[in-house]
Structure 1
Amino acid sequence: MTKTHRRGRAAFVLPRSDVGSRVATRVLAEWAVTALISMAVVIWLSLANLTERTDHVLYDTYSRMAPADATDQIVVIGIDDRSLNAIGPWPWPRDVHARLIQALHHAGSGPVAYDVLFMEPREGDEALAAALGEAGNVHLPALLSAPGFNGAAYQLDRPVAPVAAAAASLGHVMLTPDQDGTVRHLPLWLTAGDHKIGHLVLPLARSVRGDDALTPPDTPAIDALEARAPVLIRYPSPDAGYRVVSFVDVVNGEIDPAFLRDRLILVGATAHGMGDRFATSLSHDSSLTPGVEIQAALLQTVVEQSAPRPVPMWLRTTLALLPLTLMLFGFVTLRPGGNTVLGVGLLLATLVASAMALKAGWWWPPMSAIFGVLIAWPLWSWRRLAAAYGYMQAELANLRDDSDSRQLAPLSSAPVWKSGDEVSRQVRALSTALKQLKDFNRFITQSVRSLPDAAVIADMDDKVLVANARARKLFGEAVLKDATLATLFNALGHKDWRHLMSGEEGHDDIQLNDGRALQVATAPLTDVEGQSAGNIVRFADVTQLRASERQRERTLQLLGHDMRAPQVSILTLLDNAKRPEDFENRIRANAQQTLSLADGYVQLSRAESQMLRFEVVDLGLLLTEAADMMWPQAAAKGVDLSSPEDGYDYLIEGDASLLRRVMINLMDNAIRHTPTGGRVRCDLFRRGDDITMTIADEGPGFDPEAKSRMFQPFQGGNIAGSGLGLAFVHTVIQRHGGRISLDAPAGLPQVETGSCFYITLPSAPGAEA
């Protein structure tokens, strides 16, 4: 399959590379497979919550970086080792608990969450019930467990009847550690059948918040124990935790009642030997936190509504796919180094985004997103290297099979490697191929630079890439610096050069202002796939060759026709027995014509080949001198010959003798073709940096066909003569960097009758000043 492109001047055909197409298709397929596999893994990890352990590690790390500030509103009364030593071993008599509840009531404390189970009947239950009834704000725990006895789905265990009846409410104190044994969240509600039991601290939180946000969940009843409304707990730092007082100090009245007044009270075991200790997000060095302090942290989290809200599953999965999508996009747009930067940046950005979300009150587990990047990255690297390796093998095989490369291969010495593993051999083969390519490039560059003519190599944008020494001599270093073909041809004064870049080998001549002739030859460059790559442009100096050709043509024209014709006429007159009366005049006219042709031919040859002697001359003075020399001829015919008398200096740089001869030739033609009584007018005009000289007559003028060939030798047009005089004029003016035409330049009037030659020459530098 081929595709045709057009670049302004020519069309070229680009065949599709089979190897490149196969590699591109394979890379695209590998990318698609990588994308599908990695996306499927991310979705699986996210939905199945398989990264929970590592996400918990990150959550704990973030929590340690920004722990909560423990509130003074919560006071923990601990059943600690000192209390056990003072009161006695556990369990304590019920009247001891009654005394604590009475002390709290008398101190005016706020609601109390009493995290002690009173499940078996004991002596003193009546006293405890009385104390609970008197306080009216003590909440006790109940046990809702599964499975129950005798095959029941669940079982609800309440405190003994009098105690349960006297308590303000009953709540659960279930702890739900994660798989690693760390308590990070607790359920606010437990449901089983028709039972809906809130957490023990909910009444305390409700007393502060005073809203309906802590209502039971509206869920259908099922015969199974279910934890509802889990809350992520924000723990305070262990070094700056809640205010904890000893149970025995409160019972003995050693605590100032003002310290307890209106506080939220939690009573529970803190002694090491009671086993009620768990790991939390802020645990370190194997330290454990008493369960009552975990309840206190839950209470503060609920009161302050500072629990991080889990991101919904659909959004969690979408966010997990976002870094992977960016990474996959980078695979096809960035280089390996850029992919490394992108990959590391995405990993860090994911961690930072998760931390910022937690700070804003949302918990987004980031590990599924991180695992997606970590899976796709090496997978793509492996498949990309495999594709690159296959492409390298195919290209090396193509290089070895290329006929042109085989022809130049003997010029480049390269070792043959047969040892080492497969990768080492391929790397060495690639190194050898690169060396050969560098050698071939050097050979081509050296070949161009050693050409006997000026030569340059240009790309498809016409930018010059290589120039040999003769090209640098022709154009100069300043012109060749960052040059294009347009720059080079403009420097030669030849702007119409596009037709030379035809896309096929060919050549054409251009004439320079200094008289030199350059033959411009172009040859298209194509790559191994046949695509156009640029052009080789050669500038050969053929000045002497073209001059010799013109000299030969003119000599043959002069000898074969123009000088032969008058000589034949002379011989015919001599051989004629009956000679006409004007016999001598005809002989003289033919002889004069022969001399005129010889003189014109000599003058034209000198104008083309002799070295010009440039000097600053006054064009007005030369015109006056020429007019004085032609005045006798004009007077004899009765023609008025005028020259400018304005007195201005019209200074130019030129060869005075040749310019004077130009003026005499033009005045002679004008006088000869102007009828008697007519006028030949010579004028000078300054136009910017140029000076224009006009020589006008009142003769018959030139027809359009004669105008097109009037300056060619031996093309006399529609006037008598060989045309050598006008060819001489044209050559001299061109070698002076000027222009001659029968058409008036812009700003000057066109002569309506007769003919007028307009000659424009550049002023001498500084002449106007």
Structure 2
Amino acid sequence: MARRPGGGPRSRLMREWLVVAATASLIVAGCALTGLFARADNLVYDRLMALAPLKPDPRVVIVAIDDRSLAEIGRWPWGRDAHARLLEVLAQAGPKAVIYDVLFLEPSDQDAALAAAMAKVPTVLPVLTQAPGPDGAAFAVTPPTPALARAAAGLGQVNVRYDADGLLRRVHLRDGGPGHWIDHLALKGFRLIDPHAPSPPDALLVPFAGPPGSFPTIAFASVLRGEVPPRAFRGRIVLVGATAAGMGDRFPTPVSGHGADLSGVEFQANVVSALLQGREIRPLPAWAAALFALGALLALLVCVLRLAPRAAMAAGGVIGLLVLGVSAGLLMTLRVWLPPVPALAGLVLVYPLWGWRRLAAASAFLGAEIDRLAADPAMGPAAADPAPAADLVGRQAWLLEQAIDRMSALRRFAADALTALPDATLVLDAHDRVEMANAAARTLFAAAGPLEGRSWPDLADTLPLADLEPIPQALASDGRELRLSDGRTLQVGIALRQAAPGEAAGRILRFADVTALESAHRQREQALQLLTHDMRSPQSSILALLDNPRQAGGPEALSARIAGYARRTLALADGFVQLARAESSALRPVQFDLADLLVQAVDDLWPQWRAKGLNVETKAPESVIVLGDEALTARAIGNLLGNAVKFSPEGGRITCVLARGRGARAAYWVLKIADEGPGLSAQDKASLFEPFKRFGDGKTEGVGLGLSFVRVVAQRQGGFVDCDSAPGRGAIFAFGVRA
């Protein structure tokens, strides 16, 4: 099959993701920096502020120039003596300051009286600012008349700037330009109360205390008539301004009802109240909103790339709620306004963009995979039926479905062929993980459980090997033989799987049972050796004695020597037959007492070891029940004990200890037979269990098949046999039987 173009579907999908991320980020950042969603942000801000409105500060009271006062005092504008009388009444009550939201721009013969009244109570007056100013100036400032300006405790501007939706939410506490900055009227009044308070930011959002009428309001005429007790003004900030209908000093605000705009003096009261409580709201700059929106966008982009579609949609909802929660939390706790709409718009924008590009990537991947499958000769001919008329993705899905059906049929054929193989076979991928396994392999690796998806190094450690050394995890050579604990011999075959150019190839491991072949070959070699050397030698010796009988020294000596050669021949034949039966005959496993077999072997050899004056010590539990071939095990123990008797010196000691193994041999009962014989060299130990090997000075009887028989019996029953010996310190044979 051809290699996937463009690095595969994940590479294409990643490129699409980067394009979507860059596009959405540019759009969201641009919208946040330009204030495109300002109207929507204002709506969210208004709803959040309505949930927890700021309570009016009790130190703020309004003296209103209302309709009732106009009816009693007369048409506007009033004479400045009325304002002077009001200030004199207020001065007697002792307020902290008076903020007069009335312009006094034209000179009047009553300015002196008003200035004298202003000297009795700290009074702040507004100035008129116009932009642009005359003669090309950026702005022009018109202060009150000189007499009033000198008497005022401060002068402040009352400029207003509406938001994009035409509502008044903000106040600029400083306005003008470099060298001509003018504080706001409310800030001037606040400075009279707390001159050491930290300077608030220039631009603030006003936390309105409620709709018009939320602050305590007293009619101008009621104060002049003395209807208001002095305690209503004592220690407070008094704001004086117009609330009467038709006076033009009204502004639409988020708290305005239908047709009930907020008067200018009430707007000033809201600003002063916020400053007094330290609850003014600071809007964050546009770049902060852009970073906030980009952070939320990045979080959603990571989710859509790594999560399933349903989980990604749920994550988008959670991120949207977090965006609203962060914005609301900053507003309610830190009095900071972070616009959330650019971030929410970015979340909404990602889904159609990503869905479009992901669909394009999926369509391209489907087309490439269909072409790749069609070009594979192993797939066979495609269906002759035409694809149904549908959109591009639907047609590609239909073609891919047909290709998958053909692949499934091909895989079933391969699986059936693999199952029919008599040898255990594993199909590994490029990472040495099992893709397929037949029934023989499942039987061989039964201890490992399910095989699909398992790595070969893990499976290799579960093979029941005859020795205690683990199998090498990487089989690098073909034809390696493995001996199992049940006596079987497996030959490992390795074949590399074919792969497309540029793709890694897997392997196919085959474990062929060559036990019968190996046994037949070994028996053939042993039979040839027996016939050509071991059995021929005593027969040749008999013929030589018969040709020269006088060499034997007499008839009796001749007869004895011929009898010895005959017995040796019979022993060779018997040993060879027993070894062959141990290697090839079917085991007859039964439960038997291993400790009882040891005692029986010691009793059977009593004449031999008693004749040599040996001391045989036996240490074993009263009963050790194991499962195996009792007859073969009894003969193996007899062979080991017979060797110990044969090679022990006169009057020596033989120790037989039967105990549970330790460490790696904890699953075995281990019989150790130690003698005080001459011991074995390292060279002798290397070939100790090979057939027809004899050791010592040649004076001892034996044909060299006893230890080979013991090795075969141990291996076929899943046990072991080994020897610890050195010249001059005897030998210790360990025979292990599975518990």
Contact 1:144–1:172, Cα closer than 8 Å, also in 2: yes
Secondary structure of 2:605's counterpart equals helix
Mapped contact 1:643–1:682 kept (Cα < 8 A): yes
Q: Quote the RMSD (CA, aligned, Å).
A: 4.6
* Range with bigger deviation, 253-262 or 368-377: 368-377
The corresponding residue for 1:644 is 616
Give 3-state SS (helix, strand or coil) of 1:207's partner. helix
Q: Say whether the 8 Å CA contact 1:187–1:229 is kept in structure 2.
A: yes
Q: Does 1:263 align with 2:220?
A: no
Q: CA, structure 1 residues 399+287, in 2 after alignment: closer, same or farther (shift >3 Å)?
A: farther
Among candidates 31, 49, 73, match of residue 63 of structure 1: 49
Instruction: Indicate conservation of the 8 Å contact 1:63/1:281, yes or no.
Output: no
Superposition deviation, residue 508 in structure 1: 1.7
Name whichever of 161-170 and 601-610 sits farther off.
Answer: 161-170
Counterpart of 2:166?
181
One-letter amino acid of the counterpart of residue 185, structure 1 = R
For 1:623, the equivalent position in structure 2 comes to: 601
How big is the shift at 1:237?
1.5
Shift of 1:655: 6.4
C-alpha offsets along residues 493-521 of structure 1, whole Å, 9 cap, x if unaligned? Answer: 45545347424554524142x44444454
CA contact (8 A) 2:6 2:12 kept: no
Alignment of 1:528-539 (within 5 A): 536-539=508-511
Map of 2:665 onto structure 1 = none
| Alignment partner of 2:176 out of 181, 188, 191 | 191
Kindly provide the CA deviation profile for residues 202-255 of structure 1, in whole angstroms up to 9, marking residues without a partner as x: 44323212348789xxxxxxxxxxxx9444322101277111122333344333
Aligned twin of 1:400 = 374
> Aligned to 2:162, what secondary structure does the other structure show?
coil
- Give 2:221's aligned residue: 248
Q: 1:255 to 1:729 in 2, by over 3 A?
A: closer
CA deviation vs aligned residue, 1:581-628 (integer Å, no higher than 9, x gap): 549657666555544433333333334426557533634542343334
Structure 1 contact 176–183 (Cα < 8 Å) conserved: yes
SS in 1 for 2:246: helix
The answer (yes or no) to whether the contact 1:627–1:643 under 8 Å persists in 2 is no
Question: For 1:672 and 1:65, how far apart are their aligned partners in 2?
Answer: 105
Q: Is 1:423 the counterpart of 2:393 in the alignment?
A: yes
Shift of 1:290: 1.3
8 Å Cα contact 2:601/2:641 also seen in 1? no
Work out the CA distance in 2 between the residues paired with 1:459 and 1:170: 86
Separation in structure 2 between the aligned mates of residue 762 and residue 662 of structure 1, nearest angstrom = 11
2:284 — aligned with what? 311
Match of 2:462 in 1: 488
Alignment of 1:29-428 (within 5 A): 29-87=15-73, 89-92=75-78, 97=83, 100-105=86-91, 107-109=93-95, 111-119=97-105, 125-127=108-110, 129-136=112-119, 137=121, 138-148=123-133, 154-157=139-142, 170-191=155-176, 197-211=182-196, 229-238=202-211, 241-285=214-258, 287-311=260-284, 315=288, 317-328=290-301, 330=303, 334=307, 336-337=309-310, 339-359=312-332, 360-375=334-349, 378-404=352-378, 406-407=379-380, 417-428=387-398
Q: Is the Cα contact below 8 Å between 2:60 and 2:236 reproduced in 1?
A: yes
| Partners of 2:221 and 2:619 in 1: CA distance | 132
SS in 2 for 1:728: helix
Distance 1:27 1:729, change over 3 A: closer
- Deviation digits for residues 645-673 of structure 1, max 9, x if unmatched? 66977756676765665577667777887
Checking the alignment, whether the CA contact within 8 Å between 2:425 and 2:441 is kept in structure 1 is yes
| Structure 1 pair 130–36 and aligned structure 2 pair: CA distance change class (3 A) | same
- 1:55 deviates by 3.0
Scaled by the length of structure 1, the TM-score of the pair is 0.76
CA distance in 2, matches of 1:160, 1:683: 130
Mapped contact 2:125–2:156 kept (Cα < 8 A): yes
**Which letter does structure 2 place at the counterpart of 1:685?**
V
The 1:456–1:285 alpha-carbon spacing in structure 2 relative to 1, beyond 3 Å, is farther
Determine the structure 1 residue equivalent to 2:578: 603
Offset of 1:731 from its aligned partner? 3.4
Q: Render the CA deviation track for 1:5-63: whole Å, top value 9, x for unaligned.
A: xxxxxxxxxx9965362655555544444444444445444444444333333332332
Gaps of 5+ in 1: 1-14, 216-227, 745-749
Within the candidate set 687, 697, 702, 1:709 is matched to: 687
Percent pairwise identity: 35
Distance 1:203 1:74, change over 3 A: same
CA gap 1:167/1:129 in 2 versus in 1, 3 angstroms? farther
Identify the range of structure 1 (73-82 vs 342-351) with the bigger mean alpha-carbon deviation. 342-351
Shift of 1:759: 5.0
Deviations 1:174-210, CA, capped at 9 Å, x for gaps: 3322232211223334437986654344443232123
Corresponding position of 2:728: 752
Contact 1:78 1:245 in 2 (8 A): yes
Q: How big is each residue's C-alpha offset from its partner over 1:400-442, in whole Å with a ceiling of 9 and x where there is no partner?
A: 22333x15x78xx897634100122223334444455555555
Aligned residue in 1 for 2:666: none
Matched with 1:723 is 704
Q: Distance in 2 between matches of 1:657 and 1:140?
A: 124
Whether the aligned pair in 2 keeps the contact of 1:67 and 1:237 (CA below 8 Å) is: yes
Shift of 1:152: 6.3
Question: CA separation in 2, counterparts of 1:724 and 1:459?
Answer: 46
Q: CA deviation at 1:293?
A: 0.6
Shift of 1:168: 6.0
The equivalent residue for 1:685 is 657
Q: 1:399 to 1:505 in 2, by over 3 A?
A: farther
TM-score w.r.t. length of structure 2: 0.79
Q: Distance in 2 between matches of 1:397 and 1:357?
A: 56
- Between the aligned partners of 1:280 and 1:415, the Cα distance in structure 2 is 70
Quote how far apart the aligned CAs of 1:66 are: 2.6
- Please list, as runs of the form range in 1=range in 2, the aligned pairs for 1:549-698 lying within 5 A after superposition: 549-564=521-536, 582=552, 585=559, 591-608=566-583, 609=585, 611-612=587-588, 615-616=592-593, 618-630=596-608, 640-642=612-614, 644=616, 678=650, 682-688=654-660, 690=669, 692=671, 694=673, 696=675
Does the C-alpha gap of structure 1 residues 340 and 38 become closer, same or farther in structure 2, counting only changes over 3 Å?
Answer: same
CA distance in 1, matches of 2:249, 2:616: 127
Cα separation, partners in 2 of 1:543 and 1:284, compared to 1, 3 Å: farther
Q: Equivalents in 2 of 1:162, 1:108: separation in Å?
A: 23
How far 1:369 sits from its partner (Å)? 4.2
**Over residues 324-373 of structure 1, what are the superposed CA-to-partner deviations in whole Å (9 max), with x where a residue is unaligned?**
44445556555555544444444333333333333313333344444455
Gaps of at least 5 residues in structure 2 are: 662-668
Instruction: Give the Cα–Cα distance (whole angstroms) in 1 for the partners of residues 204 and 677 of structure 2.
Output: 115
Q: 1:477 to 1:670 in 2, by over 3 A?
A: closer
SS in 2 for 1:296: helix
Query: In the alignment, is the contact (CA less than 8 A) between 2:491 and 2:512 conserved in 1?
Result: yes
Give yes or no for contact 1:84–1:90 (8 Å, CA) kept in 2: yes
The answer (yes or no) to whether the contact 2:619–2:658 under 8 Å persists in 1 is: no
SS in 2 for 1:70: coil
Give the conservation status (yes or no) of the 8 Å contact 1:707–1:717.
Answer: no
